[in-house]
Chain A
């Protein structure tokens, strides 16, 4: 099993009690799946996604990634695991404004200590694959929303992660651009990348093979 969650819970203190964001989340995700997490606002979808992405370390329960007990790992070990296997696509693209398209793609590789020559080759390959070679020297504020998200997706997969997590990847996009992004996700999934997306869109969820419903922090459907 690629990802296993057992009784994951997250809460924060409010007054005398606790407010729960996630309640006893237990689920498994196999390698190669395309999973959509859906639910109303405040259901805990993004929170769950960020726990899966190891951005959030404040939770209870058990999280196994390729049988590694993430809940027992030290922050540095967690960071290493995350770097090796996980890519993340954000709703608001979150490109680095001071870096060109090329540099935005290069930076995850530099954080993974990939030698410069190899970085150049990999970035060139990804630019070509995503057909954005002509945009490599532009800054994010010179790109459309769809192009920015394309770069965001390219950045997320450039280090060849096993898992791609996407938080409302088309939420800020025009429907045509959104469709392009989803088609891209399908192709990546076909190539073997496990995809877990948070989405409000039924049409986006249709690209996947499984839907997990969340409501008030509980899994209400799978």
Chain B
């Protein structure tokens, strides 16, 4: 009976029911979707056996919060066999997972490859479903080439043949023997930095202190062995690591030390803060929504005082009446929760691409049973908890007073309005906080996307291909490829310039250290190789001196071009033209200064996520075989073509051009420079979009709360305003008087919100670039938006009084 009456009562109060169900659905849906992200990335244990025993080896520096996961070959050689409590393996991490050309039979495809040491899968605790993992013999310099492949690759390239072990795949033009197949359920520990795609195969890392091991280009994972403790392992690692780090731990320099941290924490360290901020934001939205629902339930209970009094007058006990009211809350909760689940499912799939690129995770954030439970509990808790108090309070009604005096809820309602007013002030305050946060992120995104690019990307296109290939392991081979493909490309009528570069603007570039010849070290900077037309193709200005040109051939004097940022940081007191730098194993003379371009920051401290990083350019022809072998393991170089007009066929023409030189080397991806730029700021874009959506939702909910208060006031004070109008008040004045309390509440909420936003700005400083976390314009706009919406929410219902007929209003105070 209670359920039947509840459904009928709610069906008759369509406006109230719609607002409550919609509020619950939006809040619960958004929270469930965000929770599925948090759960997937931060809460779920790693999908390996005994994940609590898995660690990552990191370098911690005194006074710095971030942990250095990049490790050198020297550290590998020191740690590998000298930490009895740990089983350690190395990998080249997400940064080193790049695309390579794989040929199986007569099929060629571009796949993601990861390089790992022997024992990598043993450390993770996962056994190949067929065959074995890489062994020590394969993981040494000069060892046999072997590969462990993924289940997906096994199925589509080998038709899931059980005889795959021992078969050969061509990788980078070299033959690799398949030694194992990973299970279908295996989840790679890291994914490609650029593509968020899991590796298709794993090959030996052969970590050593030379070549890539000269830099911090490895990541080490470890498993604490049975019978050993975490503290013991950490102490051993620190002791061994101290020897390796001693040369850098000079007096006066913040001390670095080696430690182990839980693998899950290390893997999520750079996304933890942004995710928690977003989760906090959506939690605030839920709070605002709950406040709204509470306010609506309070108001509704108050308005139903006569009905409640009557039920008790004809024999209903308090418990029976409360039960009836709570049944309505439960129905609302079920409807809101069910709709919320649908919204969560939609949001999860719609936002998955955004989130995957933003947080470098693969897989989908689908709603599973845990999220469903959280959703259900959130909906029920909100509705029941916020329905119980008003219901209990409503049954303390003075029956006689309500029924006999026809006392409108006004009398009892004025006291009841106070809690609701407090709730609305809170809602407005929280909306201000979210709007300020969203505004700061939008302005950060705006800052990053409106940085002076430093080049002209119009009518220019880039195409990438992997040169991690045995046939292109030498400078002459790569140079030959570049020269002849550029020649072919120049035959295309619309082409003005064509060049090859290791990395593009807006991309993360190679970090290298260098030294002035006979002088001091130069701080870490970016380095890329280019061919002669590079600066013309991208219209990067040469500020002084000259660009890389054909005179900078192999055997000629080593030349290098630096950018303005390099000059500002490292040669501000002296003209750099003509100075000599020791880099890539030899001296090079600075021949020119190029204008700054924006690069994605690859961990150089003191620069924004996208910034003009100090950089240098070397001629491709003057690089070394060892350098090319190293960099082509991490980067896929790009061909850059500028056309005179917008040429829709340029991509296919470029494919023909390279096929004419090497038919087995297809271009992997074509991108305009708009796309390159967008990818560089993908995390900031995702965060600002998400936070913007949450802030808009919060503002909408706060507006609904304010609207409800003012609308309720209109109903309660209709008789009063009927008298005022009859006494001569104008409708305009009456409307303003009705709207004023709403605006006062909004003002109070804004003041409180400003204080809270100011306090929250320190949390947001991690994500804000180019502006201050207490940026006045952002605060002002947020406040103006809230006041404008609050004004509308107050004025719209108050205008009802202008349509009031005083004679009707005076006749029956309940009309």
Using a CB–CB cutoff of 8 Å, the interface residues on chain A facing chain B are: 46-47, 50, 53, 55-56, 76, 79, 82-83, 88, 90, 92, 94, 96-99, 103, 107-108, 110-112, 155-156, 159, 167
Contacts and interface: CB of A to CB of B under 8 A. Distances in A.
Contact of B1 (A55, A98, A110, A167): A110
B406 A92 contact: yes
A99 B406 CA distance: 21
B557 interface: no
Contacts of A56: 398-400
A50 B311 contact: no
A76 B316 CA distance: 11
Interface residues of B, number: 21
Contact of B399 (A47, A55, A99, A155): A55
B314 interface: yes
A92 B306 CA distance: 11
A91 to B, nearest CB: 8
Interface string B298-332: 00000000110011011111001000000000000
A90 B399 CA distance: 12
Nearest to A167: B404
19 contacts: A47-B400, A47-B404, A50-B404, A55-B313, A56-B399, A79-B315, A88-B313, A92-B403, A96-B307, A96-B311, A97-B307, A99-B5, A108-B314, A108-B315, A110-B1, A111-B311, A155-B314, A156-B314, A167-B404
A82 B398 CA distance: 16
Contacts of A82: 315
Interface string B428-457: 000000000000000000000000000000
Query: What are the 4 closest A-B residue pairs judged by CB atoms, nearest first?
Result: A111-B315, A50-B400, A55-B399, A83-B315
A96 B317 contact: no
Nearest to B405: A46
B671 interface: no
B400 A96 contact: no
B403 A94 contact: yes
B590 to A, nearest CB: 86
B229 interface: no
Given A94-B306, A96-B307, A55 B12 contact: no
A105 to B, nearest CB: 10
Contacts of B1: 110
Contacts of B320: 111
Interface string B405-416: 010000000000
B8 interface: yes
A103 B311 CA distance: 12
Contact of A98 (B9, B313, B315, B398): B9
B406 to A, nearest CB: 7
A99 B9 CA distance: 9
Contacts of B406: 92
B314 A88 contact: yes
A132 to B, nearest CB: 18
Contacts of A83: 315
B404 A79 contact: no
A150 B196 CA distance: 74
B190 to A, nearest CB: 60
Contacts of B404: 46-47, 50, 167
Contacts of A103: 5
Nearest to A58: B398
Given A98-B8, A98-B12, A111-B311, 20 more contacts: A47-B400, A50-B404, A55-B313, A55-B399, A55-B400, A56-B399, A56-B400, A88-B314, A92-B403, A96-B311, A97-B307, A98-B5, A107-B311, A107-B314, A108-B314, A108-B315, A111-B316, A155-B314, A156-B314, A159-B315
Contacts of B310: 90, 94, 96
A92 B320 CA distance: 24
A25 B305 CA distance: 30
A51 to B, nearest CB: 8
Contacts of A88: 313-314
Nearest to A111: B315
Contacts of B5: 98-99, 103
Contacts of B398: 56
B324 to A, nearest CB: 10
A201 to B, nearest CB: 18
Contacts of A112: 315
Contacts of A159: 315
Contacts of B306: 94
A111 B317 contact: yes
B331 to A, nearest CB: 14
Contacts of B399: 50, 55-56
Contacts of B9: 98
Interface in B266-309: 306-307
A92 B314 CA distance: 14
Contacts of A96: 307, 310-311
Contacts of B313: 53, 55, 88, 94
Interface string B1-41: 10001001100100000000000000000000000000000
Contacts of A92: 403, 406
Nearest to A155: B314
Contacts of B8: 98
A67 B310 CA distance: 27
A83 B312 CA distance: 10
A97 B306 CA distance: 11
A53 B312 CA distance: 12
A90 B307 contact: no
Contacts of B403: 55, 90, 92, 94
Nearest to A55: B399
Contacts of B400: 46-47, 50, 55-56
Contacts of B307: 96-97
Nearest to A87: B314
B318 to A, nearest CB: 9
Contacts of A110: 1
- The CB with the most chain A CB atoms within 10 A, among B1, B12, B313, is that of B313
A107 B404 CA distance: 21
Interface in B76-128: none
Contacts of B314: 88, 107-108, 111, 155-156
Contacts of A99: 5
Most chain A CB within a 10 A radius of its CB, from B314, B317, B403 = B314
A216 to B, nearest CB: 18
A197 B315 CA distance: 20
A70 to B, nearest CB: 15
A202 to B, nearest CB: 22
Contacts of A50: 399-400, 404
A108 B315 CA distance: 6
A112 B320 CA distance: 11
Contacts of A76: 317
A98 B400 CA distance: 22
Nearest to A159: B315
Contacts of A46: 400, 404
B6 to A, nearest CB: 10
Contact of A79 (B12, B311, B317): B317
A167 B314 CA distance: 14
Nearest to A109: B315
A55 B311 CA distance: 12
Q: Which one of A56, A111, A167 has the highest number of Cβ atoms from chain B below 10 Å of its Cβ? A: A111
A90 B313 CA distance: 10
A92 B313 CA distance: 14
A221 to B, nearest CB: 23
